[in-house]
Amino acid sequence: MYIPALFRLTDSETIREFVNDNGFGLLISSVNGKFWATHVPMLLTKDKDQKDILTGHLSKANIQWKEFEKSQEVMVVFTGNHSYISSSWYDHENVPTWNYLAVHVYGTIQIIEGDDLKEELARMVKKYESGLPNPVSVETMTESFVQKEMKGIVGFRISISEIQAAQKLSQNRDDKNYLRIIEGLENKGDPDSLEMAGIMKEKRQINIEKINIREVTHKDIYHLQKIGRDTFYETFSGENTEENMQKYLDERFSLEKLTAELNNPDSQFYFAELKNNVIGYLKLNFGPSQTELKDNKALEIERIYVLKEFQGRRVGQLLYEKAMQTAILADAEYVWLGVWEKNPKAINFYKKNGFIVFDKHIFKLGDDEQTDLMMKLEIRTDKMSFK
């Protein structure tokens, strides 16, 4: 198969482990001049000369085995975890792709019978029964029953001539984008994506540092002002005039205003910290402190901001999860927020977390009136779990 050098796997022990873990392979050969494929479990083992072989068996009704007597070359495909990789997870323009693990085995196939076949069946059953509460084995079955069942199958042995293995795990991405891919996979949340994220973490062994989320106190007022101003400027300065940006920053992030907000019992601030440095923050509003709606059954996420340098490390997701934990503990029925209509990254972030647009409102930045999309998420505590 075509394998770019960066994605080629050559370590024999790793390949052996992969085949053992993903033993349900696709056996491909020629039958009457056409390709024929059968999905069948196989075992990777060694023959008497300690050479690698694959063993397995087919139903006798499957005509594929009738060509085996010619000792023809066959191909076996073993596939592992695979997952779609969205280019929206990168910090640059690119195309989507697919991560996957696969092994192709080539060799000459021969039929096995009698004791050789019985031994293959015994090993196969032992492998897959191991660890079950009440395992069965060929050895404990009656001989007459085993011999009767063996009449309905054809065993085979493949003497391996070549193995090609690929593990495409975004090895061509730098650590920042590699982490962003892992975050994207974890946000998808389906079993294949989560498994791929785990494989990628293990393969590169990136030191994913512990990010601490803690509530902001009055002692943090200067840090709160700085992270508020810095993250807002980073996020919006490219789309707004310098005059409007400075006017908004001076009004909304003055020490007086922030002190009043910290004194408000219906508002809460949280820092995201890495090695005691503030890298992001969260602001929540309850009841009358909400910028709109003023609904006692709701929680507003007014701000989730992360320094650009640390985006792609799940910081925003951790702050979001803190907001949802707070909402559930407060028995809120739903969470809502406003997000600028020209901020697709933020809109997509909330959509992936289940939010839907339900209205619009005007947000004034300096003398510029802008439109925010209002989004909400109904809370169903019986379907949510936070660790």
Contacts of 152 (CB under 8 A, 6+ apart): 59, 60, 61
* DSSP code at position 8: B
Q: How far apart (Å, rounded) are the C-alpha atoms in residues 239 and 242?
A: 10
- 248, 236 contact by CB (below 8 A): no
Structure tokens at 188: 């998808």
> What three-state secondary structure class fits 319?
helix
Asked if 140 contacts 34 with a C-beta cutoff of 8 angstroms, the reply is no
Closest among 140, 141, 156 to 45, alpha carbons compared: 156
CA pair distance 329, 325, nearest whole angstrom:
6
Which ranges constitute the DSSP H helices of 29-141?
A: 114-129
Query: Distances in Å between the alpha carbon of 368 and those of 141, 234, 348?
Result: 81, 18, 24
**What is the end-to-end Cα distance of the chain in Å, rounded?**
42
Per residue, the 3-state secondary structure of 337-361, as one string, reads EEEECCCHHHHHHHHHCCCEEEEEE
Measured in degrees and rounded to the nearest 5, phi and psi for residue 243 equal -60, -45
CA distances from 261 to 43, 95, 150, 250, 295 (A): 65, 43, 78, 15, 18
CA 305-309-256 angle, 5° bins: 40
The residues annotated as belonging to the active site are 350
Give the length of the chain: 387
